[in-house]
A and B are shown apart, each in its own frame.
Chain A
């Protein structure tokens, strides 16, 4: 009996059906050994590894560059009207010889589609509108970039101000705890229950829209998320030894909050800012679309889209530049924010 058992054991040959490899080589990640580096350098290295984030950053930089340089690259201004040159299709010097951007436009009439070139029909051979001109003869190139400039300024300003408010609120609430925290958190819960868009819309109906009022309205709506993050981080950090040490040495609460804890939570805060910028751009565009945006003659991406929408079946080229810039801008900010979140907090689970 014993002999047969041994024999069967020896003669046993594993087959494919017995087990299969889990193919989880990619999970068995071995940390490559590198010398200790500064936190900032590590973040940059991790950020660079993420291609989409780098791409996003490149687009953000390009759009920002054109937003400030674009409007002064040709002779037109964002508000200069010339009704003799209205609704002209895009035309760019040199490139026009390739047949693209030569100012031709397809117009659908009752008798079918016909191609016209208003530049030659109206004897405007020396006129070039790179992105075309709108219904009032304004240059869409200039208006797109100056609109992007306005949108960016509003979004960044709103994001920074709401960071300051939300961060202070969250840090103070988390640091003091107890009754202070209880009261502050109940207020926060109520504020969070209020739909933001409704409040922004109503605020702008009461206080007439302008750059400042839009920034204030946007700021009032975005601080809740920021303060949540700041509070959570504070709760994590306030029990740590360096805070205790600082307190033992006689530091005041405000010093501990803003000089000891704040520098340690800068990562999540920056990530949150990057996420709130596209939200602010979107909200601003929405407001412009319903007619509560930047007042004329200034324009923002939202107001350009809203204007282009009125004629987007007849002159689609008028809506394409602002909509592409806005979509790219929001996409890139989201990509950068995603990359930053992973770079700043490598422990985070992969989303």
Chain B
């Protein structure tokens, strides 16, 4: 009794200290990564061919005044610090080509909610469908259902999302006309259906694969046998014993999903003409609007680093083995 009362707080404080150290380490790494990204972006911007003001009609004096106006005549080090300062203050510069002299923050502000909305719908559809598919495969193991679920998940993992986007848009948009082929502001929900489904395929497939593997492991474990022997049955067995334990590790598939959603959204948004961040980036690349490309790269990187940070910390909270292993590292 005595040893237990002493041990428990000690254990908690150990976890707390280890956890704190782990979180701090992850945050510092993330900050350095963001700084590295900013440096790379800055260097790349210097390397970009041409100058934003190589208009034939400008004479040297005008050009010099333009350079002075945008601070391009300063030493490179000063430019870098000013650039970093501006980035973190939320000033991403102005667009040179897509819509002249519009602040990029303004361009992004109207587009980000649309992209995030479609992405969120995709994750939701993918997670629910993937979970059901995985459970079906696990419970009907080694039957036709299992094979079917495996085939679907292999296809979903390996076929890129824009193939699905093209197929869906042709079949349900062009032929059957169930949903609009192109995004329209009047029918946001209807025109988000096809893009969300095509983006959700990868999520669905990886969650299905993962759920199946975890579920099979959990179903074969001793504590399931015990729960069954105790006389629990049906819903309770599945929901409070099997599913709960099988779902905890599902967070490990989150990181690759985020990456896929980001890359997938670029092309899928282009295919369905969704006025989101992805199609803005594609347009900027195609029209050589470097400022917008760099700014969006910064946003994408910051989002990516932020999500990775959250996922990593969540791993640590959920699975103590990870932070112990990290500590030994």
Contacts and interface: CB of A to CB of B under 8 A. Distances in A.
Contacts of A319: 166
B225 to A, nearest CB: 8
Interface stretch (A5-13, A62-70, A89-97, A330-338): A330-338
Contact of A331 (B154, B213, B282): B154
A310 to B, nearest CB: 11
Contacts of A22: 225
Given A199-B40, A312-B166, A349-B217, A278 B301 contact: no
A119 interface: no
Contact residues on A (Cβ < 8 Å of other chain), bracket: 35 or more
B307 to A, nearest CB: 10
Contacts of B267: 286, 289-290
Given A194-B33, A309-B271, A351-B213, 12 more contacts: A193-B30, A195-B300, A198-B301, A199-B40, A202-B297, A205-B285, A278-B158, A290-B267, A290-B282, A291-B285, A327-B163, A338-B154
Contacts of B155: 331
Contacts of B104: none
Nearest to A281: B160
B160 A282 contact: yes
Contacts of A24: 220
Nearest to A186: B29
Interface in A287-331: 289-292, 305, 309, 312-313, 316, 319, 323, 326-327, 330-331
B22 interface: no
A37 interface: no
B89 to A, nearest CB: 21
Contacts of A195: 259, 262, 300-301, 304
A205 B296 CA distance: 14
Contacts of A338: 154
B237 interface: no
Interface in A152-187: 185-186
Interface of A: 22, 24, 26-27, 52, 185-186, 189-190, 193-195, 197-199, 201-203, 205-206, 278, 282, 285-286, 289-292, 305, 309, 312-313, 316, 319, 323, 326-327, 330-331, 333-335, 338, 349-351
Contacts of B329: 185
Contacts of A205: 44, 48, 285, 288, 290, 293
Given A206-B44, A313-B174, A190 B163 contact: no
B162 interface: yes
Interface in B137-194: 142, 154-155, 157-160, 162-163, 166, 170, 174, 181
Contacts of A285: 160
Interface residues of B, number: 54
Contacts of A289: 162, 267, 270
B216 interface: yes
B91 to A, nearest CB: 20
| Interface-central residue, B166, B170, B174, B329, by most chain A CB under 10 Å | B166
A228 to B, nearest CB: 13
A326 B33 CA distance: 34
A323 B166 contact: yes
B300 A331 contact: no
8 contacts: A52-B154, A190-B36, A194-B40, A202-B40, A206-B48, A290-B267, A319-B166, A351-B213
Given A289-B267, A330-B159, A350 B213 contact: yes
A60 to B, nearest CB: 12
B27 to A, nearest CB: 12
B61 interface: no
B32 interface: yes
A291 B216 CA distance: 44
A193 B160 CA distance: 23
Contact of B170 (A197, A199, A316, A350): A316
A290 B285 contact: yes
B110 to A, nearest CB: 21
Contacts of B166: 305, 309, 312, 319, 323
A323 B163 contact: yes
Nearest to A182: B329
A199 B263 CA distance: 12
B287 to A, nearest CB: 10
Contacts of B304: 193, 195
Q: What are the nearest 4 A-B pairs in CB distance?
A: A193-B33, A334-B158, A195-B304, A198-B297
Contacts of B308: 193
Nearest to B304: A195
A286 B170 contact: no
Given A190-B33, A193-B29, A194-B37, A350 B163 contact: no
A194 B170 contact: no
Contacts of A290: 266-267, 270, 281-282, 285-286
Given A193-B29, A194-B36, A312-B166, A206 B282 contact: no
B322 interface: no
Nearest to A351: B213
Interface in B266-294: 266-267, 270-271, 281-282, 285-286, 288, 290, 293-294
B300 A198 contact: yes
A190 B32 contact: yes
Contacts of B294: 202
A324 B154 CA distance: 16
Contacts of B48: 205-206
